[in-house]
Chains A and B, each alone.
Chain A
Amino acid sequence: MANLNLVQAINLALIQEMEKNHDIVLLGEDIGINGGVFRVTEGLQKRFGGARVFDTPLAESGIIGLSIGMAMGGLHPVPEIQFEGFLGPAYDQICSHAARMRSRTRGAFTVPMTIRIPVGGGIHAPELHSDSPEAIYAHTPGLKVVMPSSPYDAKGLLVTALREPDPVLFFEPKRIYRAFREEVPEDEYTLPLGKARTVCEGTDLTIVSWGASVVQCMQAIEKSEQSIELIDLRTIYPFDMDAVAASVSKTGRCVVVHEAPLTCGFGSEIAARIMERCFLQLEAPVQRVAGFDTTMPYYKLELDYLPDAARVTRAIHDCMAY
């Protein structure tokens, strides 16, 4: 057991799985000798050699397209896209090929691949370094989308992703890369994709969130007088609607919190499902606390954009008062 931050937990998961599975190969921009701009792959090239951990030309579509071929050829590539804002050039390879390969070849070719992507705002980064595009990929059939909110979850979920036979987008919330540490077992453990975590139990209201927003939600809950149940979705697709429905059926009230823009954010899907499955149990309309439908502002105003404990608290109050 070690006290690790999220970066260290991911690094540990990579080391342990690479030792077990020779087919895991890491590639990306600056991930080799530099260890990645966030140092997530620090020491891995030295440990595993240049054939297993290598730097590529600066071209995201190339990185993903090459990885797809490697996966079709039997490896499990782990491409890193340096920031979520650079996913754009790779969109076609991810959605037109990685997501469809198994289906369009009826299983003759598959793409076991884990794309690691630092995501989200809150670290005073330049533009296109702070977005939250998870819903775009959850909307693309054939992909799995993961976003952990803690070091423990990150390790368990990443180990699972590295054993998945299908492409996984593994979003790492950079705001909590080094925000806190927790006990992370060195021993092997896995967390299934598609299973939410009940962070704390409550009876008055359910909050559904994921990624760095979970931390903001906890801050609001700690100050709240209400009995609030917090569900960390952990994986955006497949998502654990049973856990959400069970909780909302119990509490009758729900607030969904995410950094991504409001319209067509994944909260929209959660709200629609709750309306379908918990209609008669609802005491109030589902509330969403999300990023605004604007371009993510430069960092001077980013904290006004991102959902924080105060906005979550306001939503809790409004939902309870309904």
Chain B
Amino acid sequence: MPITTAYEAKIEHISILDAKGNFDEKLGGAAGKLIIPDADLVQLYSAMVSCRQLDEVAFRLQRSGRMGTYPQNMGQEATSLGAAYVLRKDDWMVTCYRENCGLFWRGVPKEAILLHWMGDERGNAMPKPHWVTPIYVPLGTQMLHAAGLTLAAKYRGEDRIACTFFGDGASSEGDFHEACNFAASLHIPVVFVCQNNFWAISTPSTINSAASTFAQRGLSYGMPCLQCDGNDLFATVYTMRKAVEHARTTGTPCFVEMVTYRLGDHTTADDAKRYRDQSEVDAWKARDPIIRVRQFMTKRKLWDDGKEAALAERVERENAEAVARAEGIALPGRSDFFDSMYAETPQDLLIQRDTMQTHSLGQDPSQLPVEAQERAAQLSAAAAATHH
């Protein structure tokens, strides 16, 4: 018998506005009929500028000791923003930690994200109407939650879908593969978005996959797979429209790889100079998603230096206000971390909370004989005096 072909696939790559300013009107639309209307384009551009400026503010906050470790989003603004722009306002966005731009577009207050990195869980108490989940720190686990959230919606007869974000590194995790398999096999409409930013801290994407694209990871689960230029806002919007339409109309998942680049360090605790060449970074700086849109808008008379200056001023003011709100929130109570462990705090925890002690005599001094109680009180008083 002749050998036949059991399976064949191709992955489309979508690029509309490239780094040199070339614009594909076939995909992106002719003047007046752009796939992103002019007014929206200005808004989206402003959102990217604002997100970038907040990154700089956050970096300075960390360096001056006002914030803990922070992962900058720099260079990747067009990925999550394109998705957030396309998704319905009541579709779930289940993100990792480099999707600020999309989250802010959704209306997540900037101070929520800042609070998270300032070491305050209240930043994760995402208000529900935004249909976003809190920042996820361990890589690759949240895609399963996206599938579960969408399955819950499907169970209720809602046509809400989910879009979940992760990086090239996270796509090596087992949970990523399980999420793809569950969504595809159980018919759950999730759009999986892999932000391939080439670096997982110091691990290059070539160590995370030997395949020529990350998009093809989705092929083995029977999903349609697309790849786009993740630094091209028009391409991310175009690609997400295709992906979202597929998910919503077929009730099955779709896979998108957005090729982008992490311009900054992994986090403020990282020094990328240790493992990558400046020439590589410089080459990607020339492909910055923000510069590209600004030049496009300028060429089309949608933007000028005056507007840019006004935007810079507004963004600086708004972000300073967000920082002030984040820093202005009252400290949580000293025992605050006890109160959200369970819907009803178990008795054992209540005692630990109320005494702030774990030793049983500290929790219940009446266990001590009377003379020992006096002795313990004296020792505690002496210790307190020493501390002061």
Contacts and interface: CB of A to CB of B under 8 A. Distances in A.
Partners in one complex: yes
Contact of A110 (B138, B144, B152, B343): B343
B149 A57 contact: no
Contacts of B124: 104-106, 108
A201 B141 CA distance: 48
Interface stretch (B176-184, B204-212, B242-250, B375-383): B176-184
Interface of A: 25, 51, 54, 56-57, 59, 61-62, 65-75, 77, 89, 92-93, 96-97, 102-110, 141-142, 144, 164-166, 194, 237-239, 241, 273, 276-277
Given A65-B175, A103-B337, A238-B346, A56 B128 contact: no
25 contacts: A54-B186, A57-B178, A57-B182, A59-B174, A59-B182, A61-B175, A62-B179, A62-B181, A67-B148, A73-B152, A73-B153, A92-B175, A96-B141, A97-B145, A102-B343, A103-B337, A103-B341, A104-B124, A105-B126, A105-B340, A106-B125, A106-B340, A110-B343, A142-B341, A166-B342
Given A62-B179, A105-B134, A69 B149 contact: yes
Given A65-B179, A75-B152, A108-B128, 11 more contacts: A51-B155, A56-B182, A57-B178, A59-B182, A65-B147, A69-B145, A73-B150, A89-B174, A105-B134, A108-B125, A108-B126
A70 B152 contact: yes
Contact of A66 (B138, B144, B174, B361): B144
Contacts of B138: 92, 96
Interface of B: 121-122, 124-128, 133-134, 138, 141, 143-153, 155-156, 174-175, 178-179, 181-182, 185-186, 337, 340-343, 346-348, 359-361, 367
Residue from A68, A69, A74, A239 whose CB has the most chain B CB atoms within 10 Å: A69
Contact of B152 (A65, A74, A93): A74
A77 B347 CA distance: 27
Contacts of A70: 148-149, 151-152, 155
B149 A73 contact: yes
B298 to A, nearest CB: 42
A70 B147 CA distance: 8
Interface of chain B, main secondary structure: helix
A52 B134 CA distance: 28
A62 B125 contact: no
Given A66-B151, A89-B174, A107-B125, A102 B342 contact: yes
A29 to B, nearest CB: 12
A165 B154 CA distance: 22
Contact of A72 (B143, B149, B174): B149
A103 B332 CA distance: 14
A238 B347 contact: yes
Nearest to A279: B367
Residue from A62, A71, A276 whose CB has the most chain B CB atoms within 10 Å: A62
B341 to A, nearest CB: 5
B141 A241 contact: no
A68 B178 contact: no
Contacts of A106: 121-122, 124-125, 340
A216 to B, nearest CB: 28
B348 A238 contact: yes
B21 to A, nearest CB: 42
B133 A109 contact: yes
Given A73-B153, A102-B342, A65 B141 contact: yes
Contacts of B153: 73
A89 B145 CA distance: 16
A278 to B, nearest CB: 10
Contact of A104 (B134, B148, B152, B174): B134
A13 B340 CA distance: 29
Contacts of A108: 124-128, 134
Nearest to A165: B343
Contacts of B133: 72, 109
A62 B144 contact: yes
Contact of B340 (A68, A71, A102, A164): A102
A75 B151 CA distance: 10
A113 to B, nearest CB: 10
A141 B143 CA distance: 24
Nearest to A277: B360
Contacts of A77: 148
Contacts of A107: 125, 340
A103 B360 contact: no
Nearest to B148: A69
A165 B342 CA distance: 8
A276 B362 CA distance: 11
Given A54-B186, A276-B360, A61 B178 contact: yes
Contacts of B359: 276
A142 B360 contact: no
A104 B141 CA distance: 15
Contacts of A142: 341-342
B128 A69 contact: no
A273 B148 contact: no
Nearest to A142: B341
Contacts of A75: 152, 155
Contacts of B186: 54, 56-57
A105 B134 CA distance: 7
A25 B341 contact: no
Given A65-B179, A105-B124, A109-B134, A166 B343 contact: yes
